[in-house]
Amino acid sequence: MVVRQLAYHANSMVYRKNGFIPPRLLTAIHRGQFMTQQTEADARRAGDHACEIVHESEREWETLRFDGTESKMLFHPRPERPLEPNAGLVRYAPGSSFPVHRHDFAQVWYILEGQFTIGGKKCGPGTMIFHDAPHYEEEMHTETGGVWLLVQYPGPKTGKPAIYEGRFNMKKRIPIGQERLDY
Protein backbone atom coordinates (compact mmCIF):
# COMPACT_ATOMS: atom_id res chain seq x y z
CA MET A 1 0.00 0.00 0.00
CA VAL A 2 2.78 2.44 0.87
CA VAL A 3 4.48 1.74 -2.44
CA ARG A 4 1.24 2.48 -4.34
CA GLN A 5 0.82 5.75 -2.44
CA LEU A 6 4.38 6.80 -3.27
CA ALA A 7 3.84 6.02 -6.94
CA TYR A 8 0.57 7.96 -6.91
CA HIS A 9 2.13 10.95 -5.19
CA ALA A 10 5.12 10.89 -7.51
CA ASN A 11 2.74 11.35 -10.43
CA SER A 12 0.62 13.88 -8.58
CA MET A 13 0.36 17.56 -9.39
CA VAL A 14 2.43 18.45 -6.30
CA TYR A 15 5.57 16.89 -7.75
CA ARG A 16 4.88 18.11 -11.28
CA LYS A 17 4.17 21.62 -10.05
CA ASN A 18 7.44 21.73 -8.13
CA GLY A 19 9.22 20.16 -11.10
CA PHE A 20 10.93 17.49 -9.05
CA ILE A 21 10.42 13.75 -8.87
CA PRO A 22 13.19 11.84 -7.11
CA PRO A 23 15.20 10.04 -9.84
CA ARG A 24 14.92 6.56 -8.28
CA LEU A 25 11.14 6.94 -7.92
CA LEU A 26 10.83 8.22 -11.51
CA THR A 27 12.83 5.25 -12.83
CA ALA A 28 10.70 2.77 -10.89
CA ILE A 29 7.47 4.38 -12.15
CA HIS A 30 8.64 4.28 -15.78
CA ARG A 31 9.57 0.63 -15.44
CA GLY A 32 6.17 -0.11 -13.91
CA GLN A 33 7.86 -1.71 -10.94
CA PHE A 34 5.62 -0.22 -8.29
CA MET A 35 2.32 -1.29 -9.74
CA THR A 36 3.36 -4.69 -11.12
CA GLN A 37 5.25 -5.86 -8.06
CA GLN A 38 2.56 -4.78 -5.66
CA THR A 39 -0.58 -5.74 -7.59
CA GLU A 40 0.52 -9.17 -8.83
CA ALA A 41 0.93 -10.39 -5.26
CA ASP A 42 -2.36 -8.76 -4.19
CA ALA A 43 -4.43 -9.76 -7.23
CA ARG A 44 -3.90 -13.51 -7.38
CA ARG A 45 -5.49 -15.66 -4.72
CA ALA A 46 -5.94 -19.39 -4.34
CA GLY A 47 -8.99 -20.52 -6.29
CA ASP A 48 -9.07 -17.48 -8.60
CA HIS A 49 -9.56 -18.19 -12.30
CA ALA A 50 -7.40 -16.72 -15.04
CA CYS A 51 -9.16 -14.97 -17.93
CA GLU A 52 -10.27 -16.97 -20.93
CA ILE A 53 -9.57 -15.49 -24.33
CA VAL A 54 -11.54 -16.47 -27.43
CA HIS A 55 -11.47 -14.84 -30.87
CA GLU A 56 -14.74 -14.80 -32.78
CA SER A 57 -13.06 -16.61 -35.69
CA GLU A 58 -12.73 -19.67 -33.42
CA ARG A 59 -16.51 -20.19 -33.45
CA GLU A 60 -19.00 -20.96 -36.21
CA TRP A 61 -22.29 -19.17 -36.82
CA GLU A 62 -25.21 -21.23 -35.46
CA THR A 63 -28.95 -21.14 -36.07
CA LEU A 64 -30.80 -18.96 -33.57
CA ARG A 65 -34.48 -19.49 -32.85
CA PHE A 66 -36.03 -16.57 -34.80
CA ASP A 67 -36.05 -16.36 -38.62
CA GLY A 68 -33.17 -14.40 -40.09
CA THR A 69 -30.96 -14.71 -37.02
CA GLU A 70 -27.67 -16.47 -36.36
CA SER A 71 -25.47 -16.48 -33.30
CA LYS A 72 -21.84 -17.03 -32.49
CA MET A 73 -21.63 -17.50 -28.75
CA LEU A 74 -18.01 -17.29 -27.64
CA PHE A 75 -18.99 -18.41 -24.15
CA HIS A 76 -22.15 -20.21 -23.08
CA PRO A 77 -23.56 -22.34 -20.23
CA ARG A 78 -22.47 -25.98 -20.24
CA PRO A 79 -23.19 -28.85 -17.85
CA GLU A 80 -19.85 -28.38 -16.12
CA ARG A 81 -20.29 -24.57 -16.01
CA PRO A 82 -24.04 -23.88 -15.81
CA LEU A 83 -23.68 -20.25 -14.71
CA GLU A 84 -21.37 -19.19 -17.55
CA PRO A 85 -23.03 -16.39 -19.54
CA ASN A 86 -24.13 -16.51 -23.14
CA ALA A 87 -21.68 -14.01 -24.56
CA GLY A 88 -21.13 -13.45 -28.24
CA LEU A 89 -22.54 -12.06 -31.45
CA VAL A 90 -26.01 -12.17 -32.95
CA ARG A 91 -26.37 -11.45 -36.66
CA TYR A 92 -29.72 -10.28 -38.08
CA ALA A 93 -30.57 -10.54 -41.78
CA PRO A 94 -32.27 -7.56 -43.46
CA GLY A 95 -36.01 -7.69 -42.76
CA SER A 96 -35.72 -9.94 -39.70
CA SER A 97 -37.67 -9.43 -36.49
CA PHE A 98 -38.71 -11.04 -33.24
CA PRO A 99 -41.94 -10.79 -31.24
CA VAL A 100 -42.43 -9.65 -27.66
CA HIS A 101 -41.17 -12.37 -25.34
CA ARG A 102 -39.86 -12.76 -21.78
CA HIS A 103 -36.91 -14.19 -19.86
CA ASP A 104 -35.92 -14.86 -16.25
CA PHE A 105 -32.20 -14.11 -16.81
CA ALA A 106 -30.61 -10.68 -17.25
CA GLN A 107 -28.92 -9.42 -20.40
CA VAL A 108 -27.12 -6.58 -22.12
CA TRP A 109 -27.14 -5.85 -25.86
CA TYR A 110 -24.75 -3.55 -27.71
CA ILE A 111 -25.50 -2.72 -31.34
CA LEU A 112 -22.37 -2.93 -33.48
CA GLU A 113 -23.90 -2.64 -36.97
CA GLY A 114 -27.29 -1.87 -38.53
CA GLN A 115 -30.46 0.01 -37.68
CA PHE A 116 -33.17 -1.52 -35.48
CA THR A 117 -36.58 -0.54 -34.16
CA ILE A 118 -37.00 -1.95 -30.66
CA GLY A 119 -40.29 -1.25 -28.91
CA GLY A 120 -40.93 1.60 -31.35
CA LYS A 121 -37.55 3.27 -30.69
CA LYS A 122 -34.87 3.66 -33.38
CA CYS A 123 -31.53 2.18 -32.31
CA GLY A 124 -28.23 2.05 -34.17
CA PRO A 125 -24.51 1.42 -33.63
CA GLY A 126 -23.35 2.47 -30.19
CA THR A 127 -26.72 1.80 -28.53
CA MET A 128 -26.66 -0.33 -25.39
CA ILE A 129 -29.78 -1.99 -24.00
CA PHE A 130 -30.05 -3.51 -20.51
CA HIS A 131 -32.69 -6.00 -19.38
CA ASP A 132 -32.89 -6.78 -15.67
CA ALA A 133 -34.33 -10.11 -14.56
CA PRO A 134 -37.11 -11.01 -14.97
CA HIS A 135 -37.91 -8.98 -18.08
CA TYR A 136 -39.75 -8.88 -21.37
CA GLU A 137 -38.20 -7.91 -24.67
CA GLU A 138 -40.07 -5.51 -26.90
CA GLU A 139 -40.80 -6.42 -30.50
CA MET A 140 -37.78 -5.82 -32.77
CA HIS A 141 -37.56 -5.14 -36.52
CA THR A 142 -34.63 -4.34 -38.79
CA GLU A 143 -34.69 -3.36 -42.45
CA THR A 144 -30.90 -3.17 -42.72
CA GLY A 145 -29.89 -6.23 -40.73
CA GLY A 146 -26.91 -5.92 -38.42
CA VAL A 147 -24.86 -7.36 -35.59
CA TRP A 148 -25.19 -7.12 -31.80
CA LEU A 149 -22.89 -8.06 -28.98
CA LEU A 150 -25.07 -9.99 -26.56
CA VAL A 151 -24.35 -10.98 -22.95
CA GLN A 152 -26.94 -12.98 -21.00
CA TYR A 153 -26.24 -13.96 -17.41
CA PRO A 154 -28.05 -15.44 -14.39
CA GLY A 155 -30.66 -13.07 -13.06
CA PRO A 156 -29.46 -11.56 -9.78
CA LYS A 157 -33.04 -11.56 -8.45
CA THR A 158 -34.28 -14.78 -10.03
CA GLY A 159 -31.10 -16.92 -10.03
CA LYS A 160 -32.23 -18.27 -13.42
CA PRO A 161 -29.35 -18.88 -15.86
CA ALA A 162 -29.12 -17.91 -19.51
CA ILE A 163 -30.31 -20.59 -21.94
CA TYR A 164 -27.99 -21.79 -24.72
CA GLU A 165 -29.00 -25.35 -25.51
CA GLY A 166 -31.87 -25.55 -28.00
CA ARG A 167 -31.96 -21.80 -28.45
CA PHE A 168 -28.61 -20.61 -29.80
CA ASN A 169 -27.55 -23.88 -31.40
CA MET A 170 -30.72 -25.10 -33.10
CA LYS A 171 -30.41 -27.79 -35.75
CA LYS A 172 -33.76 -26.73 -37.20
CA ARG A 173 -35.98 -23.77 -36.35
CA ILE A 174 -39.39 -24.33 -34.82
CA PRO A 175 -42.25 -22.40 -36.47
CA ILE A 176 -42.85 -19.18 -34.50
CA GLY A 177 -46.37 -20.33 -33.59
CA GLN A 178 -44.84 -23.31 -31.76
CA GLU A 179 -41.98 -21.40 -30.13
CA ARG A 180 -42.21 -20.75 -26.36
CA LEU A 181 -42.04 -17.03 -25.70
CA ASP A 182 -42.54 -17.13 -21.94
CA TYR A 183 -39.06 -18.08 -20.69
The beta strands (E) that lie in 42-105 are given as: 62-63, 69-75, 86-92, 97-98, 101-103
Distance CA 118, CA 86 (A): 21
What is the pLDDT at residue 1? 43
- For residue 38, give the amino acid letter: Q
Q: Which domains does the chain have, with CATH numbers?
A: 2-43 (no CATH), 56-172 (2.60.120.10)
2 pLDDT exceeds 50?
A: no
pLDDT single digits (tens) 80-96:
998 899 999 999 999 99
Cα R_g (the chain), whole angstroms: 23
**pTM, full prediction:** 0.74
